[in-house]
Structure 1
Amino acid sequence: MKASLLSLLAISTAVSAWLPHERNFFGEQPNSVARNLAAGKGRSVKRYLSTFNKIRGVNLGSLFIVEPWMAGQAWEDMGCGDSKSEFDCMVKLGQEAGNTAFANHWDTWITEADLDSMQDYGINTVRVPVGYWFVEELVYADSEHFPQGGLAKLDRLCDWAASRDMYVILDLHGAPGAQVADQPFTGQYAAEVGFYQTYQFERAYSFLQAMTDRIHDYSQYRTVGMLEVVNEPAKGHANLVSEYYATAYAKIRESETNKSIPADQQLTIQFMDSAWGAGNAKTVLDSSSGVAYDDHRYLKYSNIEQSKSSYLSTSCSDTFGKDANSPVIIGEWSLSVDSDQENDADWTIADPNNTAFYQQWWASQVQAYERGLGWVFWSWKAQLGNDWRWSYSQAVEASIIPKDPSNAAQLANC
C-alpha cells in the first residue's frame, strides 16, 4: 500500500458517512409509532417502535448479473441456452447480438412498476449487484466477454429509486477474475478463482473509484449511500483482508477527499462480515468509521437440524456481529429450505398446511435481522414457477409475506 493511502487510513477516524437512520431518511413508516405521549399544552411527542428506520430491502438479483438457475425463461429468451454465465452467453452470441439481448433484459427484468410495487409492499431499500465490467475500460477486450451499455441502465435504475426516496446499496458482485469458482453470480463461471492477485485488485479499485466518482457526480445516484467492495469472497485468501480490504477502503476515501465530499455525504463502505469466514475486515479497519458489514443468512445451508422447530428457534435467537463487526445488515436471506427436503410433505409449498410455518419463519427472521440495521431479501423476483421461497414479490402475492413488514412483530411468536 502506498504511503498516501496509509496516511489516509490513519486519519479516517474523522470520516463519517450516511446511513438511513442517521438522517431519518425513511421517515415515519406504517405502524412505526408505538404511541403518542402527552407533552403538555395539548402537544404530544411520538415514541417509535424499535423497528423504526430499519432497512427493509430486496436484492435486484439477475438484473445486471443474470443467474440462470433463478431466471431460466429470461435466459432462454435472450438466446443463452445452456450457457452457464453471462461471459459464456456473450461468447455464444457475439458482442453485437449479446449487447442487444442484454439491453432488452435490462429494460424488462426490473421496471418502474416493480419499484412502485416495492413501495406498496413496504420496501425502502434496493441492493443492486453489478460487475466490474460496467466500467468498460477495465475489460480485457481480447479475452473477456461481457455485455456493454449497462452503466446507462444503472443510472436510470438509481434515478427511479431516488425519485421514490429508496436507499440504494451498490454491490461489486462480479469481481475481476472471479472471487469464487463455479458461480454464475460472478458473471463468469470460472473453474478457478483469479481475483486474489494484486493486478486484479487494482482493477477492482479502479471500479470502486469510478463508481464513487459517479455516485457523487451524477444526481441519479443521490440516494446511493453504501458501496460493498466484494460479494461473498472465497475463504482461504489472507490477502483479501491485508491487501484488498484495506486498500479498497482507502481508495474510496481518497476519491471522496479529492472531491472535497463532506463527511456526512461520504459513502458507507461495506464488507462481508467475519461470520462469512473469509476474514475480518476490522483487523485492518479498526479505527475507520463509515463502515458497515454484510451477513448472509441461508439456514438451508447451515449446520442445524433440518426441522421446522429448529428453523424457527434458530431465527428467533439469531445474533450477529461476530468479532465486533458492527453495524450489520443481513444482505441476503430467503425462505428456501434444505434442497434435499424442500419438496417433501413437511416443507412443500403445495400443501397449505405448511403456509403458517413459512409466514412465521419469515417474521422470525425479520424480527432478528432488525436488531441490526435491517435486511435485504434475495430476491425481488425469480422464475421458479409457483415457488415463492426466493421471490419477495411472489411471496407477498401468495399472502405469505404481509404488505406491511411491521406485522412481523405479531407473526413471529418468538
Structure 2
Amino acid sequence: MPSALSLSLSLLGASFAAASVLPGLPDKIYGVNLGSWLVLEAWMLPAGSPSSTILNLLSLTVSKEWIAMGGQQCDDCSQCIATEFAFAEAYPDTVDQKFKTHWETWFNQPDVDQLVASGINTVRVPLGYWIVEPLVNRATEFYPRGGILQLQRGLKQLKDAGIAVILDHHALPGVASPGQMFAGRCTNDVEFYTQPNYHRALIWTAVMTALSHLDSNFATVAAIEAMNEPIMDANQTPDLGDFQKNFVQVVRAVEWSLGIPVPGYSPLSSSALGNATFSFSTAAGSSFFNSEVRQVLEDAIPVFTKVAQQIGLVPDLSSLFKKRKPLVTTFMDVNWQHNNPANPANAAAGPQGYDNHLYYSFGGVADANENAYMTSICNLNRVQADAALGNSPLWFGEWGLPTQFDASDEFLVKWADAQKLAYSKGAGWIFWNFKVEISDLAGDTARQWSYAEGLRRGYLTQDPSKLHDPNVCAPYVQQ
C-alpha cells in the first residue's frame, strides 16, 4: 500500500505534468553560466593554458588573476595549486581575503548591466558545497570562507535586474568527478557517491532551499540543480537514484515546513510558522517523509542557524511565503549516463526540469569538419529522446562555440545559429560561459568560449532569441 508521502508526491507530480511553463523561469531560457565566480576554475582566468585535457574558456576582462593570486599551472591539475582546495591548503592565512577580492571583481554590477543589455533572462550559478561553511570538515577540507555573502550580494543584483537564477550544486562533498577543476579539488579519489556525502549534499540542499524562500535577495532563484555532470558510467555512481529521490523530497519537505504552497500537502497553519528552525523540526517529526529526509532536516537546523547568522538573515515569514512558488528541482538528464542509470523523472514531485550539456570540441559527437558538425546539430534529437523518457522540459545548460578544427569566422556565425536553433526546440539554452580572462597567455580562447566576446565579434546576435539566418539548417536537415 503506498505511503502518505508517495501519494502526496504522486499528486504533486501530476499537477505539474501538463504545465509548459516552470514557475520562476522564462517561457524560453536564454542564459549564461557565471562560471569561475563562486567555483573558481583556474583555466578560465589562467594567465596561461591549464592542461591538454581541459580547454580555456571565455572573457571580458584583461587579467592574469590566478597566477597573481598565487596559484600555479601544471599539466596534471592534481599536482600543483590549481584548485580552490589546493589554494586554501597552501595559503590558509590569506585565502579568504584573496578570494573576496576575486569574488567582488569577477562578477559585479557592470556584469549584471551587460547581461541586461545582452537580453539574457537566466543565469546558472555554479556553487560548491563549501559555500555552506558548517558542512566543511576543516581538519581535512580546505576552502575559502565568505562566499555565501557574495552569493547574497550577487543574487540581489540579479533580482534587481529581473534575471532568473538556477543555483547549480557544481562541486559536491567528497568530489563527484575525477581529475576536474570544477569539482573544487582535482583528484582521482572520488568519494561523493557514499552515504555520508550524499547526506551532506542533502543538508546543503535543505539550507539553499530555505534561503531561496526566506531571504528576499534570493527572490528570483527559480531552480536548484542537484549536481553537475555525474560520472557518465552509472556503474560508478551507486545509489544515485536514491539521492535523486531524496533531493526532491528534501526540497519539498523544506517548502512544506516553511509554509510554501506545495500541491499534494495540506499547508501548515500560520501558528506553526514561528521561525525557520521550528518549521524544520516540524517536518523532521512528520511521518510524511522517509527517515533519511527527516534526519537531513534535523541535521540542517544547526547548519541553517549558523548560515542565517552569517548573512544577517531576518526572515519575514508572514509575507515572503505567500509570494513564493515551489522551486524547480533540476537534474542532468537520464541520457547523460549509460549502463542503466536511474531516471531522475522517477524522482519528480512538483515542477522539475532537466539539463543536458553538449560540447563537440571534446570528440565523440561528430567528425571534425564543418559539414559533419552542421549535419549533426541540425538533426539533433536529444529533446525528443529525453521527452520519451519523461525528461521534459529539457534545456541545454552548457554549450559553446569551440571546435576540433580551425573554425573560420564565417563558420562560427553558422555554428552559433545552428546550436541556438537546435537547443531552442527544448526549454532553451545557457551558454558556457559568460566570460573568461583575456590575456597574452590565455590566447584567443575567448573567441569561441566567451558569450560576451561572441557578441562583440558578431557570432552571437544581440537579441538572443534571433538568428542571423533562420534557415541555417535547411541544407543539412535529413528526412
> With structure 1 as the length reference, what TM-score do the two structures score?
0.84
Q: State the match for 2:39 in structure 1.
A: 65
In the TM superposition, residue 23 of structure 1 has moved relative to its aligned partner by 6.3
- Give the one of 80, 95, 101 matched to 2:71: 80
Inter-CA distance 404–10: structure 2 relative to 1 (3 Å threshold)? closer
Q: State the match for 1:408 in structure 2.
A: 467
In the TM superposition, residue 237 of structure 1 has moved relative to its aligned partner by 3.4
Q: State the match for 1:29 in structure 2.
A: none
Which 10-residue stretch deviates more, 192-201 or 402-411? 402-411
Distance 2:121 2:135 in 1: 32
**Does 2:444 align with 1:386?**
yes
SS at match of 1:410: coil
In the TM superposition, residue 410 of structure 1 has moved relative to its aligned partner by 2.5
Inter-CA distance 63–256: structure 2 relative to 1 (3 Å threshold)? same
Letter paired with 1:405 = P
**1:174-233 CA distance string (max 9 Å, x none):** 000011111010101122211000010000000000000000000111111010000001
SS at match of 1:385: coil
**Does 2:13 align with 1:13?**
yes
Q: Is the Cα–Cα contact under 8 Å of residues 20 and 167 in structure 1 kept in the other structure?
A: no
In the TM superposition, residue 21 of structure 1 has moved relative to its aligned partner by 4.2
In the TM superposition, residue 386 of structure 1 has moved relative to its aligned partner by 3.1
Distance 2:218 2:249 in 1: 21
Which 10-residue stretch deviates more, 380-389 or 208-217? 380-389
- Give the one of 397, 409, 424 matched to 1:331: 397
SS at match of 2:422: helix
Greater length-normalized contact order (CA 8 Å, ≥ 6 residues apart): 2
Q: State the match for 1:140 in structure 2.
A: 137
- Give the one of 188, 195, 200 matched to 2:197: 200
Q: State the match for 2:54 in structure 1.
A: none
**Does 2:407 align with 1:357?**
no
Q: State the match for 1:41 in structure 2.
A: none
Distance 2:142 2:421 in 1: 42
Letter paired with 2:434 = W
In the TM superposition, residue 303 of structure 1 has moved relative to its aligned partner by 3.3
| Percent of aligned pairs with the same amino acid | 31
Q: Is the Cα–Cα contact under 8 Å of residues 361 and 412 in structure 1 kept in the other structure?
A: no
Distance 1:172 1:23 in 2: 20
Inter-CA distance 326–370: structure 2 relative to 1 (3 Å threshold)? same
Letter paired with 1:292 = G
SS at match of 2:466: helix
**1:339-393 CA distance string (max 9 Å, x none):** xx3xx4xx2xxxxxx1111011101111111111100000000123333211101
Letter paired with 1:266 = P
**1:248-294 CA distance string (max 9 Å, x none):** 11111111110110247010000010121162434632x63311100
User: How many residues end up aligned between the 2 structures?
Assistant: 371
Inter-CA distance 369–191: structure 2 relative to 1 (3 Å threshold)? same
Q: Is the Cα–Cα contact under 8 Å of residues 364 and 412 in structure 1 kept in the other structure?
A: no
In the TM superposition, residue 327 of structure 1 has moved relative to its aligned partner by 0.7
Q: State the match for 1:39 in structure 2.
A: none
- Give the one of 335, 350, 368 matched to 1:275: 335
Q: State the match for 1:399 in structure 2.
A: 458
Distance 1:102 1:117 in 2: 23
Alignment of 1:212-223 (within 5 A): 212-223=209-220
Which 10-residue stretch deviates more, 307-316 or 96-105? 307-316
Inter-CA distance 141–230: structure 2 relative to 1 (3 Å threshold)? same
Q: Is the Cα–Cα contact under 8 Å of residues 42 and 83 in structure 2 kept in the other structure?
A: yes
Letter paired with 2:241 = S
Letter paired with 1:86 = E
In the TM superposition, residue 242 of structure 1 has moved relative to its aligned partner by 2.6
**Does 2:234 align with 1:260?**
no
| CA-atom RMSD in angstroms | 2.2
**1:54-104 CA distance string (max 9 Å, x none):** 10000001001111112102211221223121100111111x300011000
Q: Is the Cα–Cα contact under 8 Å of residues 5 and 250 in structure 1 kept in the other structure?
A: no
Q: State the match for 1:130 in structure 2.
A: 127
**1:115-174 CA distance string (max 9 Å, x none):** 111111121111000001111000001100000000010011111111111010000000
Distance 2:469 2:120 in 1: 18
In the TM superposition, residue 406 of structure 1 has moved relative to its aligned partner by 2.7
> With structure 2 as the length reference, what TM-score do the two structures score?
0.73
In the TM superposition, residue 106 of structure 1 has moved relative to its aligned partner by 0.1
**Does 2:365 align with 1:303?**
yes
Q: State the match for 1:31 in structure 2.
A: none
Unaligned stretches of 5+ in structure 1?
A: 27-52, 348-353
Unaligned stretches of 5+ in structure 2?
A: 47-63, 74-80, 263-323, 474-479
Q: Is the Cα–Cα contact under 8 Å of residues 23 and 325 in structure 2 kept in the other structure?
A: no
Letter paired with 1:124 = N
- Give the one of 420, 439, 458 matched to 1:366: 420
